[in-house]
Every structure is written in structure tokens, then in C-alpha cells.
Structure 1
Amino acid sequence: MLKHLAKLFRRNTEPGADQASSAPPALNNAARAAEGESASIRKEALARFMGLATAHLGDDERRRLMDAMLVSFDTYGNSSEAFEEIALGNEGQKIGQWFVIQCDWKASEEVEWQIAEVASSFGISERWSWKEGVDEQDRTVPAGLCEVADWAAPLGLEMLHIDIGSDTYYAILIRQDDAESARQAALSAGMKVLRTPEFEAAHA
């Protein structure tokens, strides 16, 4: 709640269009037009990404999540914050329709149940679990996500990792045929997205 209030406070205290500016009016208007066009492009790309990321969910849930994410984008003007809101916010994903894996950097115990939730949303009965004999200290979130990516590949799924600059790891499972299109859409929306080899190399 405090985080959301801080974001809104920043937006409300930023200089508005009606405040004095030292730049000529024509330049201000051109800058605002360019910014608005850029935001529109990012919003459209975010919608494409969201459509692919939730393609396996029911129509009603897809529409609800899409609407919630676009409202968040309009609020914050930032695709990563809109995505975070869908992952963590009250109007975001629900148990039984899980699609964003989100684990604090040290919460490796969260990986297994979230993968089970995502698998269920795809109609997959198989379950991933940590390999036997792996020490607790070696059960890190990055290691678990990379294992899950290997487990999911024969099921026709690929994992994409979304880096929003926080100490929480975010990832989605997506149909392999849609993975590159989703990655490109997310990049166009201004998000940082890694495929698992890149993610694994970054956390080696």
C-alpha cells in the first residue's frame, strides 16, 4: 500500500503540462506528443505480451488480467510496474489461474508450489519437485527456475524470466511457439526479458 501511495505521490508532484517551462511552447508540445506516442506503443506491446502470456487461461480471466494490467500501465506509465502489479496486487493473478512465478531471492521453498499452480493452469498433471539429495543451501531460486525450465521443455513450454530490477525473481511458462513473440513484445514494452540460458549465465 505504501509503495503504491509513493508512486502516486511522485506522479502527482511531477511538473505538469500547465506549469511554467523555460522551453518554447512548440518544443514542449512536440516533446509531449512524442512521449504520448511512445507510451501508446509500449502499451500496445504490453497488451500483445499479456495476450500471449495468458493464452492458456480462460477467456474471462484473460480479459480481467488484461484490463487490470492496462489500468496499471495508465496509472504508473511503466510496463514493469504494471507487470509487478499483476503478479502481486489485489487485482492480479489468483490461485487456480496462476501464470506469474514470483519468488523472493531467498524463498526457494516458494518455487515448488507455484510451479504446481502454473502447471495446473496449463492442464498439466505432472509435477516438478526438487531433486533428491540436493542440499538445502544449493536450493536457490535461480537454480530451481533453471531446473523447472528443463522439466517444462518436453511438455512444449519455455520459461521466460522478467527482470524488473527488484530482489524478487519473476518468470512465466509459455508455449514454445509463442516464446519469441512474447519476448519481443515484452522488449518493445520496455521490459527486460531473458531466456533461460541467458538467465542461467547471469546467475552462474
Structure 2
Amino acid sequence: MKSKHWTWVGWPLGALPLAWITMQAAGGQLGPDPAETLVELLGWWSLVMLLACLTMRPAAQLLKVPGLVIWRRTFGLWAFGYVCMHFLAWATLLLGWDPSFLGEELTKRPYIIIGMLAWLALWPLALTSTRQSRRRLGRKWVKLHRLIFPAVLLGVVHQSWVQKSGYGETLIFVSVLLILLLYRILHGRNMIRK
């Protein structure tokens, strides 16, 4: 099946977590501190979407379904959307956009700084996600889009510091990332050339 037949499926898949979070919030099921839970859920799904984006090439090759590759961009854009919502929820619901709180958080808390760096690393990827940008930038586009790796790594570090109980989720995220990196290394230049 050609890629174009697969394109539309990725968008509703990426929207499912947001729909679930919205239903949980509407039903008052986000626990005693709904604002904090909302921020955490949006951040968690950001990381899941980033890893899903990185998984598409290996999945397409291993499952012999080339059309899956088209979802890299879809899940990458969803990841950026979830990260933006994570930031907006944090700044709005937890800090109320108070400049003094924002300034303090952004300068004195290492996990916030790491999270901001991950978010900033995703901006150039989102802004150059179009086919036109890819054609215009040529090989530079491939190099630029390798920023996803430091972004995911920073996201995992941020998540591990924010996590309140145990490190089980962090170990899963790190394991998936290491497997994907190992796969990429073992498959050499063919993987790098998207």
C-alpha cells in the first residue's frame, strides 16, 4: 500500500491521547490536583509521540510496511503539539503567567531548564516539517532533523526528574530510546538517509 493511503490514519491516532485526557478532565477524573495531572499527562504523551516518531522507520522496515514511514512527520508534529500544550498548561495553570514565577522557574530549576531546551530543539523541526522545506534545505534538512535525538534525550531526563514515584517509566523510555539508537547505528547510512 502506498504512503498516501496511510497518511490520514496517523492524525486520529495522535489525537486519541488528547481525546482521552479531555474526557478525563471533563469527568473530573484527574485526581486531587487536576492542573498538575494535566501538565504531567501532556508531557508524558509528548515523549511517547517523540518515540513513536523515531519508531516509524524501523517498524516500516521490520514489518515490511513502507507506508508507516509517512507517520514520522505526523507523530513528530503531534509530539510538538503535545509539548506546546504541556508548556502552556504549566505556564497557565501552575504559574498563572506570573513573570516572577516564570523567571524563577526558568533559571533556578534544572528540570525546567532541561524541559525548555527539549522544547526549543523541536521548534526548528516543526518549522521545517514541510516538503517544501525538505526540498529547499536538501541534505541540511537531514542534519537539522537529527535534533530529534537530543530533544528526546532531554525529554527523558526532564521526565525522570519530574517523576514522583519510582523510575519504571523512565527505564522504559530509556530502553526504547537505546533500542532505536542501536537499530539506527546497526543499519548505518541507510537509516540516516531518511
Both proteins in one fold, TM over 0.5: no
Higher strand proportion (structure 1 or 2): 1
- Report the TM-score when normalising by structure 2: 0.28
More helix by share: 2
Larger Rg: 1
TM-score (norm 1): 0.27
